[in-house]
Structure 1
Amino acid sequence: MPMSSETTKLPFKIKLSYSMGQIGDSLGYNMYFFFFLFFLTDYVGVPPALAGTISLVAILWDAVFDPVVGHISDNMRSKYGRRRPLMIMAALPYSIFAFLIFNSISLGTQATFIYFLIMTILFWSSYKFFVIPYFALGAELTNDFNERTTLRAWSSVGLYVAVMVASALPPYLLALFEKSGMSGQLSWRIIGGIFAVGILLSAFICWHFTRGKEIYKHEEQKNNTMKKSSLVKALAQIVKLKPTKFLAGSVFFWAVASTMAMGGLIYLMKYNLGYGAERQSLYFIINSLVCIVWIVFINKTARHFDKKHVYACFLGIGSLGLLLFSMTGFPSFAILLIFCVVFCLGDSTYWTLYYSMMYDICELDEYVNDSRREGVVTAVMSFSQKLGAACATWITGMLLAFGGYEGAIENQSESAHQMILYVNTLMPGIFGSLAVLAILFYPITKKRFYSMMTALHAKRSHKKYSEEDFKDML
């Protein structure tokens, strides 16, 4: 299968350095989705429906802001490239607001709502200026169909290292600090500070060691022949691309499933299963290790078969597992671990392959529209992901309230227990099934992508080419 000489393989150092940026992204992201709702309901005293609304508004703002940041990143011109200046400028405020959102204050219900709404909006805004350029940078480091999967596999390992830290460390530290006599509010403040430092360090390492490694940077500076367009036009052109619609739909639905299933675990383990901090931390560590093992298998499978088919198959298994486990009630820790293995196959596949599939749309954009807009392509997918996550946190808060959950009491009602179970299993399983259905219509395959790249290389050189082998992508 022909492939142009422009294909770029990546050395170990770059893959490792790029994955550090994923740690910076995922420490704040997962700390938020694992514990922010729980922190508001159980330590600040915000009613669950109101806490869910704070997340909904803040994350919707983040989602709407995605295309703006992507467009700014695509049109930035500097000797340091289009992505890395924004990444380093955003790293410090991102880490500061990651600290501030876990600071409890007592200002009354209305003032507390306003405070946390402002802090979360600032948190997600600064996060966005780091993460959109970071993900777009991945498409500029290599244009090889399989190498992009491997790069994302490395990043996914970084993601689950961060997930392990962000999920297992807070319950352990919280129990440790409270046992020593600290208040829960002060304990969360210290935990927020620890994570802020981790975000800043990992973001700097990624920024520093990926300097000058973009494959398109120098060519664009010497002769920028790409067409420029307004944000509205860029969005319209990218959304019009056939693969964008189906990948964005799948990303949205699994974001709902993943956020509900993972964010609800702290409620499930504390109230339904009665697990203390040590058992909770143990589960989250096992969860992350299982995901890392799955990533190795997913990467090898996706290099031999089409990413699309691997993605659909493994998300399907994860979704089926969620639906089946809604009927078990998790009678033992062993059953919870089986749930972990099945769900993590789908979730690890999502976080590993959807970015790699997203990168392939960037070359299609260049072929169809004569523009390289990795930032806006990334923003469209990030918008879908954040919209799904926002809906998930709002739905979770509303369902908990409907089930009669009260954060101020230790023993929840039977209806609250049942709703917590459904938030972790049945509802995510339904949304996960919709994610699988959407991706079945995604048209980019390895054969079609390589044929398009050959045509794109010919088009750049003003030579003749044919669209016959990849017309289904257009």
Structure 2
Amino acid sequence: MSGVSAPDQDQRAESDRPRLSRAVLAAYGIGGLGSGVYTTVPGLLLLYYMTDTLGIAAALAGLGIFVPKLWDVITDPFMGSISDRTDSRFGRRRPYILAAALALPLCFVALFSVPELSPGAAFAWVMVSYVLAATAFTMFIVPYTAMPAEMSEDYDEVTSLMGWRVALLTVGILISGAAAPQLIELGGGGRGGYTFMAMIVAGVIFASMLGTFVGTRSAPSRPRLDQSPPLREQLQAAARVRPFRVLLSTYALQLVGVGLVLANVPYFARYTLGGDEGTVTIMFVALVAPAFAFMPGWVWLSKRTGKLRAYQLASALFGVGIGSLWLSSPSQMWLVNLQVGLAGIGFAGTQLFPFSMLPDTIAADRAKGGEQREGVFTGLWMAADKGAVALGALFAGLVLDAGQFIETRAGELVDQPDTAMLAIRLSSSILPALFLLSSLPMSRRYELDSKLEPDR
């Protein structure tokens, strides 16, 4: 008789695994580029596209972004459970990554290719297209996010793996945030410009996701679950894991602020700063370039202070940088870019650490009970992730509507009332900063920030 428990056998096998090669790290990370592109472009442009090109009222446009994400709240946990139980020659997660690489680009193009319709019919087109795109993205992001917990349980290696992901995610955000407005202008502006932009961006999404599918074929994985409790019981068990619950609540609160910021950038650039698409591009470069440059610094700091303290510092920097935009002025663009750059340094850490701490919470649960339910954890995580960002966009639409923002169709010019100008400034600075900074007290309840064995 062996006398060794299943969890102990898993930990012993884990310690015998070779370290992940640089090629596998890069292949996993390249998927972050595609996810960054996909989440950034609708987050940045979809609300603005609906109000200033399709003529949809701001509150209704915000609802059009939020409702499809409610669908994600349902589908993401199911996708996690399905991938846990999958048995194929491509493993548990990779078949869905391939399916998403084929489906998502088509749905993305449809989202920004609304024909000449009334505002009501255009709203329906956007809703249906966004639900389809959200479903395809769920097929990618939930299995993709579950993979690190299978690939490694080494505390620092997981951070390095997530460093690759977040670095390339940041590149994706930079490319899409900076290039998408310019591509719209290059395509002639208006509806045709948005379609042209969507076709280029869809190609980037396809190449990125396919690269992850092909490049991770040699990555470590775990066998499917032969027997497991019903999904409802698994979701309840995951929600009872205190470190996971605290981390998820902290991150989701921050993402409401991120959703507010993203949705308001085009309005802030045009109406507060008096700029155009080029202003949006400059602001994104100012945000993401420091984020990319400082990523190794956050990894270095976390190895010396722990992930939690580094995460808290990053959250504070992000919140202070965004909040300071309340004082911005079009006559001092150098100062605006400096403020955005400070926020960008913090933003990098708020993307790196939650995703590098998530595998720690999954490993703690597995070491304690022997359950392999990475997909269930990541399904819950991504449902909250996408729902929180969409809630931020909904808040942005409601604040604009309360400020009596005047929606327009492509080519129309209007003077916004002072109440709308105040609403744009408020929801671009003070409101998102409040969400970001209010997450700090909650994060203090997190309990897994050490290099001890994950059996607490």
Which TM-score applies when normalising by structure 1?
Answer: 0.89
Counterparts of 1:380 and 1:329 in 2: how far apart (Å)?
A: 40
Q: What amino acid sits opposite 1:301 in the alignment?
A: L
CA contact (8 A) 1:361 1:377 kept: no
What does residue 467 of structure 1 align with?
Answer: none
1:202 aligns to 2:208 (yes or no): yes
Aligned counterpart in structure 2 of residue 104 of structure 1, from 114, 119, 128: 114
Counterparts of 1:84 and 1:34 in 2: how far apart (Å)?
A: 29
What does residue 213 of structure 1 align with?
Answer: 219
1:242 aligns to 2:252 (yes or no): no
Counterparts of 1:170 and 1:24 in 2: how far apart (Å)?
A: 14
1:28 aligns to 2:38 (yes or no): yes
Give secondary structure in 2 for the equivalent of 1:5: helix
Q: What amino acid sits opposite 1:86 in the alignment?
A: Y
| 1:414 Cα deviation from its structure 2 partner | 1.8
Cα deviation digits, residues 430-470 of structure 1 (max 9, x gap): 111122222110111123xx333xx6xxxxxxxxxxxxxx4
Q: What amino acid sits opposite 1:194 in the alignment?
A: I
Structure 1 pair 210/16, CA: closer, same or farther in 2 (3 Å)? same
> How many residues were matched structurally?
441
| 1:331 Cα deviation from its structure 2 partner | 4.6
| 1:176 Cα deviation from its structure 2 partner | 2.7
Cα deviation digits, residues 207-257 of structure 1 (max 9, x gap): 10100312x43xx37xx7x86121111101110011121111111111111
| 1:330 Cα deviation from its structure 2 partner | 6.0
CA contact (8 A) 2:274 2:330 kept: no
What does residue 344 of structure 1 align with?
Answer: 344
Counterparts of 1:97 and 1:55 in 2: how far apart (Å)?
A: 15
Cα deviation digits, residues 336-379 of structure 1 (max 9, x gap): 11221221122211111111111111112212332111111111
Q: What amino acid sits opposite 1:48 in the alignment?
A: A
What does residue 312 of structure 1 align with?
Answer: 312
Q: What amino acid sits opposite 1:28 in the alignment?
A: Y
Please list, as runs of the form range in 1=range in 2, the aligned pairs for 1:338-417 lying within 5 A after superposition. 338-408=338-408, 409-417=413-421
Q: What amino acid sits opposite 2:110 in the alignment?
A: L
1:188 aligns to 2:187 (yes or no): no
1:123 aligns to 2:125 (yes or no): no
Q: What amino acid sits opposite 1:12 in the alignment?
A: R
What does residue 466 of structure 1 align with?
Answer: none
CA contact (8 A) 1:55 1:393 kept: yes
Q: What amino acid sits opposite 1:228 in the alignment?
A: S
CA contact (8 A) 1:251 1:381 kept: no
Structure 1 vs Structure 2: percent identity of aligned residues?
Answer: 22
CA contact (8 A) 1:146 1:303 kept: yes
Q: What amino acid sits opposite 1:424 in the alignment?
A: S
Unmatched 5+ stretches in structure 1: 456-469
Please list, as runs of the form range in 1=range in 2, the aligned pairs for 1:171-182 lying within 5 A after superposition. 171-178=181-188
Q: What amino acid sits opposite 1:177 in the alignment?
A: G
Cα deviation digits, residues 26-79 of structure 1 (max 9, x gap): 211111101111111111111111110011101121122110101101111122
| 1:170 Cα deviation from its structure 2 partner | 1.9
Counterparts of 2:371 and 2:33 in 1: how far apart (Å)?
A: 30
1:422 aligns to 2:432 (yes or no): no
Give secondary structure in 1 for the equivalent of 2:15: coil
Please list, as runs of the form range in 1=range in 2, the aligned pairs for 1:293-332 lying within 5 A after superposition. 293-329=293-329, 331-332=331-332
Q: Which runs of 4+ in 1 moved over 6 A?
A: none
Counterparts of 1:319 and 1:251 in 2: how far apart (Å)?
A: 13
CA contact (8 A) 2:187 2:194 kept: no
1:60 aligns to 2:70 (yes or no): yes
Counterparts of 2:100 and 2:400 in 1: how far apart (Å)?
A: 34
What does residue 264 of structure 1 align with?
Answer: 264
1:442 aligns to 2:446 (yes or no): yes
Cα deviation digits, residues 316-345 of structure 1 (max 9, x gap): 222233334324456511121122122112
Q: CA RMSD in A?
A: 1.9
Structure 1 pair 312/369, CA: closer, same or farther in 2 (3 Å)? same
Structure 1 pair 7/304, CA: closer, same or farther in 2 (3 Å)? farther
| 1:18 Cα deviation from its structure 2 partner | 0.9
1:11 aligns to 2:15 (yes or no): no
Structure 1 pair 440/131, CA: closer, same or farther in 2 (3 Å)? same
| 1:407 Cα deviation from its structure 2 partner | 3.0
Counterparts of 1:148 and 1:95 in 2: how far apart (Å)?
A: 29
| 1:125 Cα deviation from its structure 2 partner | 0.6
CA contact (8 A) 1:6 1:143 kept: no
Structure 1 pair 189/325, CA: closer, same or farther in 2 (3 Å)? closer
Counterparts of 1:64 and 1:166 in 2: how far apart (Å)?
A: 28
| 1:277 Cα deviation from its structure 2 partner | 2.5
1:451 aligns to 2:430 (yes or no): no
Which TM-score applies when normalising by structure 2?
Answer: 0.92
Counterparts of 2:207 and 2:169 in 1: how far apart (Å)?
A: 15
Counterparts of 2:288 and 2:453 in 1: how far apart (Å)?
A: 37
Q: What amino acid sits opposite 1:421 in the alignment?
A: R
CA contact (8 A) 2:69 2:390 kept: yes
CA contact (8 A) 1:294 1:344 kept: no
| 1:8 Cα deviation from its structure 2 partner | 5.1
Higher mean alpha-carbon deviation, 125-134 vs 333-342, is at 333-342
Counterparts of 2:299 and 2:18 in 1: how far apart (Å)?
A: 18
CA contact (8 A) 2:246 2:446 kept: yes
What does residue 7 of structure 2 align with?
Answer: none
Structure 1 pair 330/439, CA: closer, same or farther in 2 (3 Å)? farther
Aligned counterpart in structure 2 of residue 39 of structure 1, from 41, 46, 49: 49
Please list, as runs of the form range in 1=range in 2, the aligned pairs for 1:153-172 lying within 5 A after superposition. 153-172=163-182
Counterparts of 2:58 and 2:24 in 1: how far apart (Å)?
A: 43
CA contact (8 A) 1:254 1:432 kept: yes
Cα deviation digits, residues 264-292 of structure 1 (max 9, x gap): 11111111111122333222223221110
Q: What amino acid sits opposite 1:207 in the alignment?
A: F
Counterparts of 2:18 and 2:132 in 1: how far apart (Å)?
A: 37
CA contact (8 A) 1:317 1:342 kept: yes
| 1:7 Cα deviation from its structure 2 partner | 6.1
Counterparts of 2:320 and 2:314 in 1: how far apart (Å)?
A: 10
